[in-house]
């Protein structure tokens, strides 16, 4: 069986309860990770430190990487990658819940298809409780379908991704905004091979505040910049660039309740 690392990043605003649920779902996997790299992105409150201390007593696989101050998710993950011993790395956010056989099913894909560099899956978005599923974020399965999909939307569910560390480093790691979408495009244009398992392997914590945070000129401008960068990388032509920018500006600047409907009814299943 392939040895692999799990990479997480936690910062001061996160919930101790959610962190505990996330870590528990990692250590109780049908195939547990060989190591868990947990990046402390800046100083943490005692409530979070207590949870981490409790889990360090439950498993010896947790390794802590401490950053002197909060640097943001992309930089924290880049630092964490340096400490991952194994080439196969599974990402996990500290407020989500992995299904029991998540790692087992992803490892089997890497064993079956040795040329695959990145493997993700669908996610179920829930609010408050995993019995309250709001939507399922589905993505195409095969590489060519994923490449086509990537020209308009993010082709990988970052919270449930598993990838080869060397393929990520070869593409330059995380940078800019959105950190995950940019990385996938750089990897695609660098020749990395993608695959999405056609079932949900993770419960993704969703809230109405998330939709509100994704609106406004700040996000619209960031979208424009990222789309221009994708165009320069050769992902698509000028007509697709203009189309993508118009769609994204519309979504970012529309009222919150309309944007919420777009996310839940049009962009999800």
Is 252 in contact with 263 (CB distance < 8 Å)? no
In angstroms, how far is CA 54 from the centroid of its own chain? 25
176 burial (CB, 10 Å; 0-12 / 13-18 / 19+) is: middle
List domains and CATH numbers for the chain: 5-206 (3.90.550.10), 210-266 (no CATH)
Strands in the chain per DSSP E: 5-10, 35-41, 62-67, 88-91, 97-98, 118-127, 129-137, 162-164, 194-205
Q: Are 78 and 174 in contact (CB under 8 A)?
A: yes
Mean pLDDT of 11-32: 97
pLDDT at 19 over 70: yes
Q: What confidence tier does 187 reach under pLDDT thresholds 50, 70, 90?
A: very high
Q: What is the pLDDT of residue 252?
A: 87
13 and 89 Cβ atoms separated by less than 8 Å: no
The 10s digit of each residue's pLDDT in 75-126 is 999 999 999 999 999 999 999 999 999 999 999 999 999 999 999 999 999 9
Task: Give residue 212's pLDDT.
Answer: 65
Secondary structure of residue 19 in the 3-state scheme? helix
If you average pLDDT over residues 127-146, what whole number do you get?
A: 94
Residue 195, strand partner residues: 119
pTM for this model (two decimals): 0.92
* Bridge partner list, 63: 37
Region class of 228: left (phi > 0), else alpha (psi between -120 and 50), else beta: alpha
Helix, strand, coil proportions of the chain in percent (round to 5)?
Answer: 45, 20, 30
Mean pLDDT across the chain, nearest whole number?
93
Q: Model confidence at 208, in pLDDT bands (50, 70, 90)?
A: low
**Distance between CA atoms of residues 180 and 78, nearest Å:** 12
Q: How far apart are CA 221 and CA 144, in angstroms?
A: 29
For residue 190, the SS3 value is coil
CB 178 within 8 A of CB 230: no
């Amino acid at each position: 069986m392939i040895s692999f690392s799990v990479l997480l990043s936690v910062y001061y605003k996160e919930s101790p309860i959610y962190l505990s649920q996330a870590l528990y779902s990692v250590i109780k996997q049908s195939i547990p990770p060989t190591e868990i790299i947990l990046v402390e992105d800046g100083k943490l409150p005692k409530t979070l430190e207590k949870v981490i201390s409790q889990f360090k007593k439950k498993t010896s696989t947790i390794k802590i990487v401490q950053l002197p101050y909060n640097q943001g998710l992309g930089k924290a993950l880049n630092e964490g990658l340096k400490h991952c011993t194994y080439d196969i790395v599974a990402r996990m956010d500290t407020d989500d819940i992995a299904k029991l056989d998540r790692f087992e099913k992803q490892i089997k894909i890497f064993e079956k298809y040795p040329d695959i560099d990145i493997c993700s899956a669908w996610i179920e978005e829930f609010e408050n409780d995993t019995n309250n599923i709001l939507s399922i974020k589905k993505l195409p399965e095969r590489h060519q379908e994923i490449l086509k999909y990537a020209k308009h939307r993010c082709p990988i569910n970052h919270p449930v991704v598993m990838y080869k560390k060397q393929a990520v480093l070869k593409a330059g790691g995380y940078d800019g905004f959105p950190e995950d979408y940019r990385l996938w495009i750089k990897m695609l244009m660098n020749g990395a091979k993608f695959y999405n398992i056609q079932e949900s392997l993770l419960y993704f914590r969703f809230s109405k505040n998330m939709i509100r945070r994704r609106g406004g000129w700040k996000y619209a401008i960031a979208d424009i910049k990222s789309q221009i960068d994708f165009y320069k990388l050769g992902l698509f032509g000028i007509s697709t660039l203009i189309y993508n920018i118009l769609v994204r500006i519309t979504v970012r600047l529309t009222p919150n309740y309309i944007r919420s409907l777009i996310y839940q009814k049009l962009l999800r299943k």
